[in-house]
Chains A and B, each alone.
Chain A
Amino acid sequence: MRKTTRFIAVAATAALAVAGMSACASSETGNQSITVWAMQGQTGEVNAAKQEVAAFNKAHPEIQVELTFVPDMGTALKTTAVDKLPDAFEFDGETLAALVYNGKLAKLNGLVSDATFANELPSIQAEGTYSDGNSYSVSQYDSGLSLWGNKSMLAAAGVDVPTSVDAAWTADEFTAALKKIAATTPGKKAITFKENYGIGGGWAGYAFSPIVNSAGQPLVKNGTAVGAMDAPEVVSAFQTFASWKKYSDPDADDSAFQTKRVALAWIGHWAAPAIKATVGADAVLIPLPNFGNGSKSGQGSHSWAIGAKSSKQKAAATFLEFITQDAWINNLTNQNGAVPATVSALAANADYAEGGLLALYAAQLSKSCGSADPTADCVTVPRTISPAWPVINTTFSQAVQKIWDGADAQAALTEAAKAIDQDAADNNGYKN
C-alpha cells in the first residue's frame, strides 16, 4: 500500500514535470495551452473527460487543454508544491478546506461567472465555499445517499415503505422493519451497510455521519468535537446502530442487494446503474432513518478548482465554465450515475422529477444544511468544511468501526472527539 502511494506520488511528479515543460513552451497571450489533471476514475468518467476536452479544444482554438489522468489525486495534490500545480484540476470536494488552508486553490469569484454559481445546487455552493466566504470550486455532479429498497421483498416482509424525507422511518420503526425483513429472508439478513467498503477507512465519515446529524448534532460544533460528536443523543443513536449488526450482510462480494440476498442497502448514488440493471422495477429509494432531528443525508462529490499560482487562471476558468454546461454534465452523469450539479440539468432530468426513480436524491439535496449546524428542516449535511476534515473523518470513522465491533459507544466517541480537539489545538484552531 505504502509503496503504491509512493509510486503514484513519483509518477505524478514525473507527469507534472512533463506537463510543466510543455506549459512553458506557449506564450501568455494569444494561443496558449493549459494543463489539466483529472482523476483516473471509472471508465465512464475517463471517457467523459476525454470527450469534454476534445470538444473544448475544438470550440476554443485559442486555448488548448493538455489532459493528464492522475490515479491518486489526493496524494498528488498533497505532495505537489503550489507553484507546480496544473492550471485546473479535479479533486475530492471533501479536501477543499485543507487545500485552501495550504494556499493551493485560487478564488473563483470574478473568474467564474455569477450565473454559473447561481445555477449550482445549493449543496454544491455550500461545499465550494470556504470559511472566508469565497468560492473555490465548481462541480459537475453531486452525490446521493439513502437506502435502496426491494419492493417485492419489503412487501413480502409486510413492511410499509416511506419514500419522502418527511415520512422517514424513526430509528425504532427501522429496527422493527429490519427484524421483520430478516425473518422472511432466506439468509436471515435484512440489509447491507456496505461493510465491504471498510467502515473505519472513511466510509463512516460519509455514510454514518448523517446519524450524528439526525440525532441533532454536527460532528464539530464551534470548533469543538467534545460535546457534539459524543453528546448523549449521539451515543444512544450509535448504540441503536450497533444493534443492527445482526441483520447486516457483510457483503464481501459487493452485491448483496443486487443479488437479492437483502431487501435494503445503505449506499450512495454510484450503485444506481447496477441496481437498475439487476433489481429493476422493484428498486425504490427510501430516506435514511430519523433519530429525532429529522432524516439527514450526505452530499458532496468531486469538484474542480484552479491552481492558486496558475498564470492562466482566465483560460482555466473558461475550461471550468465549459465543462459545467448542462450538456457536458449530462454526458458525464449518464455514464457514472451521479446527480447533476446544476439546478437546470436536474430540472430537465426525468429521473429526478417528482415520481422519478431518483427523485429522493434531488429532494434531499434541495434542502442542504450548508456549513451551518444541521437543523430539523434541512436534510443534506456537507462533510465538515474545515482543514481538520482528514483527521475528523478518520478518527470518527474508526470510532464507528469500534462501536460496530462491540465497543462502548460513549467511550469510543469521547476518545475520538478528544483526539480531534487535540489536533485542532496543535494547529492553533486551523486559523490561517
Chain B
Amino acid sequence: MTTFGSLRKRVFKRRFGYDQIAGMLMSLPATLLLVLFVVIPFFTAFILSFYNAHLASTHTNFMGWENYRRILFDPETSGVFWQSLGNNFQFALIVVPLQTGLATALALLLNQKIKGIAFFRTFFFMPVVFPMSLVTVVWTLFFSRDLRGMFNSVLHTISGGSINPVDWLGTPGLALVSIAIMSIWAGAGFQMVIILAGLQEIPLELYEAASLDKANAFQKFRHVTLPGLRNTLVFVVIITTIFSLRLFDQVYILTSGGPLGSTSTVMFQAVTTAWTQDNIGKGSAMTVVFVLIIIALTVVQRLVLRQEKEIK
C-alpha cells in the first residue's frame, strides 16, 4: 500500500531531485535553441498564415482561413500542393529503403579490420561534407539531356551507340527518380556513419557465441547483427524519412519543380511562394500544414517501429 505521504515524497523527489535539476540544466541550451528557432517560428508562421502578408509588410490584411482553403480545397489552386505532397511521399518511398539499405551495406563493408580502412570510410563519407547545392550543380552536368551529359555519354559509349540520350530531368516520371539517385549518393554517407557506430556497439561475445554454435556469416548477420542494429536502424529510418520529406535544394537547382510539377515538393512550394512571390502568408500556411503532417507521420512511425530498451 502506498500512503499519500510517501507518494508525495516520491513525486517531490522525482520532480526536484538532484538528477532532475541537473538534467534540466543540461538540456537547457538545446531546449532554448529549439524554442528560439523551431517553436517560436512555428507559432509565428501559424499567425502569419491567416494574413495576406509580405516581407516588406507595409500592406497586410487579415484573410482568415483563406490561405488554407486555397492550398487544400480550392479546385483551381490546390492541385499543386497535393501534387507536391504526393511527390514528397513518392521520393521518401524510393529514398528511405534504398538509402538505408545502401548505408547498411557500406557500413558492413567498412567495418572490416583491414589496412587503410580509415581512407575508405573518409572516401564514402565525402559527399556528405560538400554542401548539397554544390553537389547538385555538379550533377546538372551529369544529367544533361544531350550526349555531353556524363550519364548519356557513358551509356552511349558502353552500348556502342545503341542507347539514345535520355532526358533525365525533363521526363515526368524519370526526373524524381534521377533526383532520388543523386540524393541517395550524396546522403548515404551520413547514415553509414551512424550505422557504423551501431555496429561497433554490438558486443563481440555475441559473435563468438554464434561462431561456437557454428553459425555461418549470413546467420550471424540475420540473428546477431540485425537485432543488434535494431535501435540504430529505427533512428536512421525516421531521420531519413524526415530528411527526404524536406527535399528542397536539389529540386530548386535541378528542375524548379518541373517537368509539369513532377518534382515539385512542399518545401519547394513553400519557399518559392514565400520568397520569390513574396507571399509570406500562403507560404507560412503551407509550412504549418506540412509540419503537422510530419509530426503525425513521425508519431505513427515511432509506434510501429518501437525502439527496444534492451538487446534480446
A interface residues (Cβ-Cβ under 8 A, vs B): 1-2, 4-5, 75, 78-79, 98, 101-104, 187, 189, 196, 198, 200-202, 249-250, 252-253, 390-391, 394-395, 398, 401-402, 405-407, 415, 418-419, 422-423, 426-427
Contacts and interface: CB of A to CB of B under 8 A. Distances in A.
Contacts of B272: 394
A104 B59 CA distance: 13
B59 A427 contact: yes
B277 A102 contact: no
Given A102-B58, A394-B272, A426 B259 contact: no
The secondary-structure label for the interface of chain A is helix
Interface stretch (B122-130, B206-214, B249-257): B249-257
Contact of A252 (B55, B140, B253): B140
B253 to A, nearest CB: 8
Given A78-B278, A394-B277, A402-B259, 10 more contacts: A1-B249, A2-B275, A5-B275, A98-B278, A102-B59, A103-B58, A104-B56, A415-B76, A422-B77, A426-B52
Contacts of A249: 146
A395 B145 contact: no
A200 B257 CA distance: 9
12 contacts: A2-B248, A2-B271, A2-B275, A79-B55, A102-B56, A104-B56, A187-B147, A201-B256, A252-B148, A253-B148, A402-B261, A415-B76
Contacts of B55: 78-79
> B141, B252, B256, B279: which has the most chain A beta carbons within 10 Å?
B256
> A2, A415, A418: which has the most chain B beta carbons within 10 Å?
A2
A350 B117 CA distance: 65
A394 B256 CA distance: 11
Nearest to B66: A426
Measured as residues with beta carbon below 8 angstroms from the partner, the interface class of chain B is 35 or more
A148 B140 CA distance: 25
Interface string B251-269: 0110011111100000000
A271 B249 CA distance: 27
Interface string B137-149: 0001100111111
B276 interface: yes
Interface string B51-87: 0101110110001000000000000110000000000
A196 B170 CA distance: 13
A405 B262 CA distance: 11
B44 interface: no
B58 A405 contact: no
B277 A405 contact: no
A75 to B, nearest CB: 8
A386 to B, nearest CB: 13
Contacts of B275: 2, 5, 75
A419 B258 contact: no
Contact of A391 (B63, B148, B149, B278): B278
A196 B149 CA distance: 13
A426 B63 contact: yes
Contacts of B260: 402, 405-407
Contacts of B147: 187
Contacts of B248: 1-2
Given A1-B271, A405-B259, A395 B58 contact: no
Interface in B271-300: 271-272, 275-279
B170 A187 contact: no
Contacts of A250: 144-146
B221 to A, nearest CB: 39
B291 to A, nearest CB: 15
Given A1-B133, A252-B149, A423 B258 contact: no
A189 B149 CA distance: 15
Contacts of A419: 77
Contacts of A423: 277, 279
A78 B56 contact: yes
Contacts of B148: 252-253
Contacts of B170: 405
Given A1-B249, A200-B257, A394-B277, A427 B52 contact: yes
A295 to B, nearest CB: 28
Given A252-B140, A419-B77, A402 B146 contact: no
A419 B145 CA distance: 31
A2 B131 CA distance: 13
